[in-house]
Structure 1
Amino acid sequence: MAMPDHGTHQDLNRAGPRSSAAYVGSGLLLGLYAAAGAGWIGYEVDRRGADGGDFVRALYDPLVPFTPWAQTPPDWALLAAALVFGGIAVARRRVARGALMFVAVFLVALALRELVGVAASSTYRELLRRSEYGRLLAGFRALGLVVGVATLVAMARAGRRATAPAAHAPWTPSAPTDAPAPPPPSYGPPHPSYGSYGPYGPPPVPPRPAGARAGLTTAGVCLLLSGAVSVAWLIHRLTRPQVFLVGGSPDAGASGFFRDAVDASYSASVPYAFHTLAFALAPCVVAGLLLAGRPAGRGAGLALASVLLYLDGRTLYSLVSDGHLDQYVETTQGTLAVLSTLCTAALSLVTVPALLSAREP
């Protein structure tokens, strides 16, 4: 007797047919944003009288005198993540979902920061209106808001319909009937008590590998430790007598730092305070997603760990390249700063392969 065909086994690493359009569309949208960001970087390089070589050196060396406004080094890393994971999303890989949502949250937050600045200061609003730079900046943030919101909505919907229920939930028989189930018939339709799968039961569900959960847990713990180190340094910085802000006064204090993080008009629209706060809290949030086994945690963790690894590597290069590393380790605070950067870079190096080897939750 021929066995019934329950369909081919679903690839859990690839988006299903119903969510493919959301993955492809979101990947193309973030690719569009990355292209606009690349154009914005070229515009800033040209306005400052620099050249491509200056920007390339600034990518890995913080000591290069190249200070952009709208596109800071963390933004460069986010643009690269948008481009890479946007391409992965076009290939319909499910790991891209969390990464795209991670980048989209940053785009929406940066746009909202700009909106707060426009609403809070008439001077800043007039500055944006009168200058070509300000109008381009407003348009760029508006594009980020549209792309971010569209990506979050599309990926949230794709997460609810990406996988068939049989791939994640154990089979439960249909409600029993009054009559006991007869033996499997040799012809005719099956008895209603067998449910929708017929007398042969549901299709087999492949077991989850034992190492899948371990990889997510390892990455979650690493990001949690990295976030704890960043939060500790942030608290230390905010409790100092002077809190330095890029483009602002050195005595702004903790209140000035937090206002600058959410209000683009407070200092010079440079989102350094925003990124400092965001990349201190983001590891703790993503670690919670990984430890809870949330499907979006794997992609978000990969994107975050890659960005953090780039930023730490850039910092370490500056410590070594200027030839004054021995001066940093002469004091306790300097030694702790160097060791903390090495520690967080090592944690990111562990996080990335742990998540690459893990299976989709």
Structure 2
Amino acid sequence: MKALILEDDDLVSELLETVVAGIYPGAQVKIAETLGEAYGLVSATAFDLVVTDWSLPDGSGLDLVKKVRKTDAEVPIVMVSGRSDRESVLKAAHFGINGYMTKPFDVQQLHARLVKLLQTSDSQTPEIAVLLKESLNEVIQLPSDMDPSEVLELMSRQQDLSPAQLAERWRDEASLTARLLDVANSTSFRRTGKPVETLRDAISSMGVALTLNQALALSLDVSSKLKNDMLRDLARKHYQEAVDVGKEAQRLAIRLKKQPVLLQKAGLLSRLGELAVLKVLNQYVSLGGELQAAEAEQLLKQWAQEYGNRLKVQWHLPLSMRELIGSVHHLPSDCTREDRITMRAAAMLAAGRQETEECKRLLRRLGMQTEESVKD
């Protein structure tokens, strides 16, 4: 499924992308900031959904609606606008839109509206290898167990919440952390060219209200809540591995009198690839495909690194963070950076490999002769 979003506000377009990708796993979402960009995209590609703002820097979204309707009378088109008067709504309806959302829009309402528009028909189950390969070039979201009711409760008292409070509450939410860093970095790079590295800074740059909207959008991604028992168990296993690495990294950093925030975050994000592959495997099963546990494990080994690398780039993770994540899985023998050595040691401790020669050597390089000394 291919979707076009025409919106000149970075944060709003990112939110719309999250909602669309959550409703339709593997959606290819193109974002245009100007009417000219959108014209070029619709001339080259047939889209299955168009979401457009009304007021744009170089014209009106109604002009895009008219252009699309000249060649396609069926594609769903949703208009989002700050105009709420009856005359504007009727004017947009006259040109053949399928939905009209007033800014600031309600995420739940938008989600429900798009779900009705994007009902899919039964299709032939694709080959799993083909699906995995194609999904590398599409919008990837991780499985999430966030409860929408919890996010709504936070939204009801958002005036009393600070970025620091939200960052502390969500510090173990790998999927949400990754998505918020993605959104914040996308906007930060466009505006300042500087990366955002911490969850707290990401929330501060976006603001509490928009951050909560992103969280709600992600929590409504029902497709990413794995239904298959085998896949769900694998997701829990890899997620817990990431949490454990983060905790060990935090513990080592404190012992070394270093700031633990970035090291803990690297641990949390260290299973991005596995969780992303599981999302695609879940999509495959939901389309009627069959998987045995051994085959799923093999596909994870085969594709996890490639998906992890793709996500690090797609989500604009800073190079320093990518290196820390990479160190969880592999550390060059000539590496002398203490933070990377700490991450590799944390991974081995989390895996219960403290008695191996490699782990003991890493601890000595950190000035800790034994694992017992780490716990002192």
TM-score normalized with structure 2 length: 0.25
Higher RCO (C-alpha under 8 Å, 6+ residues apart):
1
TM-score (norm 1): 0.25
- From the two aligned structures, give the one with the greater helix fraction: 1
Between Structure 1 and Structure 2, whose CA radius of gyration is higher? Answer: 1
